[in-house]
Structure 1
Amino acid sequence: MTSSAPRSAEETPLPEQPSAEELADQVLAHPSVARLHGGAFGEIASYYPGRRLTGVRLREDGTVEVGVVLRLDRPLPETVADLRDALAQRWGGTPVDVHVCDVETAEDPSTTG
Structure 2
Amino acid sequence: MAGVSAQLPGQPSERPLPERVAAAVLSHPAVVRLDGGPFGSVASYLPGRRVVGVRAGEGAAAGEPVEVAVVVRWPAGTPLPELAEEIAARVRGVAGERPVDVTVADLVPAPITAPAPAPVPGALAEPAGGGPATGPGPAGTPGTRLA
After superposition, residues 96-111 of structure 1 pair within 5 angstroms as: 96-106=100-110
Q: Secondary structure at the match of 1:21?
A: helix
Residues in 1 aligned to 2:110 and 2:30: alpha-carbon distance in whole angstroms: 12
| Offset, 1:16 | 5.1
Q: Corresponding residue for 2:142?
A: none
Count of residues paired in the alignment:
94
Q: Deviation digits for residues 56-105 of structure 1, max 9, x if unmatched?
A: 00155432000100111122111101111232244321211001111110
Out of 45, 59, 71, the position equivalent to 1:69 is: 71
Report which of the two structures shows the higher radius of gyration computed on alpha carbons: 2
Q: Corresponding residue for 1:40?
A: 38
Q: Secondary structure at the match of 1:41?
A: helix
After superposition, residues 9-88 of structure 1 pair within 5 angstroms as: 19-59=17-57, 60-61=60-61, 62-72=64-74, 73-74=76-77, 75-88=79-92
Residues in 2 aligned to 1:23 and 1:52: alpha-carbon distance in whole angstroms: 13
Residues in 1 aligned to 2:29 and 2:53: alpha-carbon distance in whole angstroms: 17
Query: Do the aligned partners of 1:45 and 1:56 also contact (CA within 8 Å) in 2?
Result: yes
What is the percent sequence identity of the aligned residues? 45
Point out where structure 2 has 5 or more consecutive residues left out of the alignment. 1-9, 112-147
Q: Secondary structure at the match of 1:69?
A: strand
Residues in 2 aligned to 1:52 and 1:86: alpha-carbon distance in whole angstroms: 21
Residues in 2 aligned to 1:66 and 1:103: alpha-carbon distance in whole angstroms: 15
Residues in 2 aligned to 1:29 and 1:42: alpha-carbon distance in whole angstroms: 22
Query: Do the aligned partners of 1:16 and 1:91 also contact (CA within 8 Å) in 2?
Result: no
What amino acid does structure 1 have at the position aligned with 2:28? Answer: H
Point out where structure 1 has 5 or more consecutive residues left out of the alignment. 1-13, 108-113
Could you say which structure has the greater relative contact order, defined with CA pairs below 8 angstroms and 6 or more residues apart? 1
Residues in 2 aligned to 1:90 and 1:48: alpha-carbon distance in whole angstroms: 18
